[in-house]
Structures are given as structure tokens and as C-alpha cells.
Amino acid sequence: MKNFQRITIFIGLLISMSILSAHAQEVPSFTLAWSEYPSWSTFGVLNEAGIIDGEKGKLGSVEKKWGVDIVLAEMDYDSTIQLYASGRADAVCITNMDILSPSLSLDSVAILPTSTSFGADALIVSDKIQSFEDLKKVKTAGLDMSVSSYTFDANLELAAQNPDDFNFVNMDPATAALQFQLGQLDAIVVWNPFVLDTLEKRTDARVMFDSTGIPGEIIDMVVASKAALARPEGPQFAAAIIDAFFQLNRMLEDPAEGDDTLIALGEKFSNLGLESMRKVVTQTRFYKTPAEAIALFEEEQIKTTMKKVVGYCLKRQIVDQEPTIGYGTGEVNVLFDASYIKMLTIN
């Protein structure tokens, strides 16, 4: 009799495991490509916290809630863009400037703003540079056709200077920062962590101007392809990403776990410690709540910002034709759509 009971229990367990396995296989899978940056490294922390399980076929708490499997693909920034543009990732962490080019062949939807640069992109100079006239005489190194060159040109124009009068040379930010620190350059445009690192390592380094001069113009986002969102569970995929991101922001704001969460975020972002990360998140301002994110996507200012960004990209031939931009609804190349954020308030 006991053997019969054991066999019955064993068969029951096998049946239960089969049902669970079949259910897991039924959960649709979507891929999010992300790279190391303060508000995007949140997805690495979310993975470690079990809120998202980035491995295919495994579900974190937010994935179970929304009924989707989110596969997290971490790589360098350029590779994430290539993965997304090729259709091998359903969504990508990307700036409002860098999404323009891939959107010309892949209609894209900005589903979530994660942060904006407020000092995280900066022109750093040595004490040899005391004026714009001094700056004209030297090479300024930074990544061309990127937020670095945008920050440089936009701030020069604010100061009534012509960017064409300056010698901006293309250089990877890590290389530019190292050459500046070694005294081989006197002017660089880089982003964090290179900004903080450079200011610490060269005593005569100072910020001549930064992205505080162009507030709200460099926007870090999560963008999904229109095709991915059109899949039956596409909206749930978007909502799950957004839900997880704001859960992490609540953890950062919680006095009981905020420091530990910021330390965990620093481990994912260039292994920075607590004090450095406190500085980082003042220079990279997170959109901490759904209300802040919705306001950005629905207020008139973003239309002005995108017009300026698109104009810059056309002028610099970063895009060979003008992408169409829409807000809320529309058949366009890039759509800013707050409806997925609003799903959080409904569920």
C-alpha cells in the first residue's frame, strides 16, 4: 500500500512539473538590450534582486505579474543599438538622439524615459584654456556624432560661438579621458564615469561647460520596436519593464534600503562607490515616478527638444533623411507614447 502511495505521489509530482513546464514555455519571451549607464544599469540590479530574471525561460516577480519573459542582453552601447536595429532585440536602452537613425528602417516607440543628463556630459579643460579663444587653438577630443558633440555644439551656440571655428576631433571617451589625464590633451568632452574620474585624476582639470546648459535635451530612454509592441503580449512586455524600473526607483528613495541599492547600482555602473554614485545621480537625473515620466512625454517642451535634436542630426549628417516624430499616436518613425506607463495606474 505504501509503495502504491509513493508511486501515486511521484506521478502527481511529474504531472505538476509537466504543467508548470508547459506554462513556462507558453510565456512569451522578449529581449531588452542594455548597456552600462546609471539609469540603465538599474536592469542589472533588478536582475540580481529577482524582480526580473534576465535568463530566458526564468521569471522574476514582475515577469510573473505581467505574464512575460524578459531576456536581458547586456553589452556595450554600440552593440545594443546594432542588436536592436537588426531586429534581434525587441527593446533597447538608448538616447533620444541615437534612436533617430535606426528608426528610419525600424519604426520605434519610446515607452519610458529613464533619466536626463544634467552635468553628466561635460567639456573638461586644463588650466591652459581660459577662454573660447584659447579653446579654438587646441584639439577638443570626444565621440563625434554623439551626445558629446551635441553637448559641445549646443553650448557653444548658447555662448554665441560658431562650432565650426573649433577643432573637435573624434575619439572614444575612454581614450580621450586617458590622454587628458596623461597631459596629452587639454580639452575633452566625455560623459560619466569619465567626467568624475578625470576631474579626480588631473589637478588642473575643470568643467568649462556641461549639459546643465541644455537641460532636458539629452534624454535616456527605453525604446521598443513597433512590431514587438504589436505582438499580443507586447503591451505587457512594455508595462513589465516600466513597472520594474519604478520599483527600483522606490528602492532608491527608501531610507531603509536606498544606500544599499545605490551601492548595488554603482557595482553595475563602473564599480563606483556610494559617494561617487550620490554625485552621479545628481548629474544623471532619474525620472523617478510615473507622473514625472508621463509629464515629459506629454508636455509641449519635448516637441521643441526633438525638433532641435533632429535638426542637429540632419545638419551633421548623422541621419541622411528626416525621421518623422509623433506624440501619443501616429504612424511615425519615432513615437513618444505614455500609454504604457499609464498601464501601471490601471493594474
Share of the chain above pLDDT 90, in %: 90
Q: Residue 346: its pLDDT value, please?
A: 66
With a cut of 50, say whether residue 9 has pLDDT above it. Answer: no
Q: Phi and psi dihedrals of 215, rounded to 5?
A: -60, 135
Number of domains in the chain: 2
Integer Cα distance of 126 and 311 in angstroms: 31
Query: Do both 196 and 273 map to the same domain?
Result: no
Strand 121-125 relative to strand 206-210, pairing: antiparallel
Q: Residue 331 carries which side chain, given as an amino acid letter? A: E
Q: How far is CA 254 from the centre of its chain?
A: 23
Q: Residue 22: its pLDDT value, please?
A: 41
With a cut of 80, say whether residue 330 has pLDDT above it. Answer: yes
Q: Which of 213, 228, 251 is the last residue of a domain?
A: 213
Instruction: List pLDDT tens digits, range 75-131.
Output: 999 999 999 999 999 999 999 999 999 999 999 999 999 999 999 999 999 999 999
Q: How far is CA 264 from the centre of its chain?
A: 17
Integer Cα distance of 100 and 88 in angstroms: 18
Query: Do both 223 and 298 map to the same domain?
Result: yes
Integer Cα distance of 109 and 103 in angstroms: 9
Instruction: List pLDDT tens digits, range 27-86.
Output: 999 999 999 999 999 999 999 999 999 999 999 999 999 999 999 999 999 999 999 999
Q: State mean pLDDT over 161-176.
A: 97
Query: Do both 245 and 340 map to the same domain?
Result: yes
Strand 219-225 relative to strand 139-142, pairing: unpaired
3-state class (DSSP) for residue 139: strand
Instruction: List pLDDT tens digits, range 307-316.
Output: 999 999 999 9
Q: Residue 250 carries which side chain, given as an amino acid letter? A: R
> Strands, E, within the chain: which ranges?
29-34, 69-74, 91-95, 108-117, 121-125, 139-142, 167-170, 187-191, 206-210, 219-225, 284-286, 325-327, 334-336
Q: Residue 325 carries which side chain, given as an amino acid letter? A: I
CATH code for the domain of 80: 3.40.190.10
Nearest by Cα to 216 from 290, 294, 113: 113
Query: Do both 245 and 336 map to the same domain?
Result: yes
Q: Residue 61 carries which side chain, given as an amino acid letter? A: S
Contact 117, 218 (CB under 8 A): yes
Confidence category of residue 5, pLDDT binned at 50, 70, 90: low
Integer Cα distance of 307 and 311 in angstroms: 6
Nearest by Cα to 175 from 194, 201, 202, 149: 194
C-alpha cell at 338: 505614455
Q: Evaluate whether residue 4 is within a structural domain.
A: no
Strand 187-191 relative to strand 121-125, pairing: antiparallel
Helix axes 301-315, 147-158, angle to 10 degrees: 100
Query: Do both 144 and 195 map to the same domain?
Result: yes
Query: Do both 206 and 234 map to the same domain?
Result: no
Q: State mean pLDDT over 330-347.
A: 92
Query: Do both 103 and 236 map to the same domain?
Result: yes
3-state class (DSSP) for residue 129: coil
Query: Do both 236 and 160 map to the same domain?
Result: no
Strand 29-34 relative to strand 91-95, pairing: parallel
Query: Do both 104 and 230 map to the same domain?
Result: yes
Integer Cα distance of 325 and 251 in angstroms: 34
Q: 111 to each of 42, 107, 140, 284, 334, how far by Cα in Å?
A: 16, 13, 35, 19, 11
Q: State mean pLDDT over 208-237.
A: 98
Q: Which of 166, 182, 213 is the last residue of a domain?
A: 213
Q: How far is CA 290 from the centre of its chain?
A: 16
Nearest by Cα to 116 from 239, 201, 212: 212
Query: Do both 341 and 235 map to the same domain?
Result: yes
| Domain extent at residue 148 | 121-213
Q: 278 to each of 37, 194, 267, how far by Cα in Å?
A: 14, 16, 13
Query: Do both 263 and 338 map to the same domain?
Result: yes
Q: Residue 347: its pLDDT value, please?
A: 61
Q: Evaluate whether residue 2 is within a structural domain.
A: no
The secondary element (H helix, E strand) that includes residue 35 is none
Integer Cα distance of 93 and 76 in angstroms: 11
Average pLDDT, the chain: 93
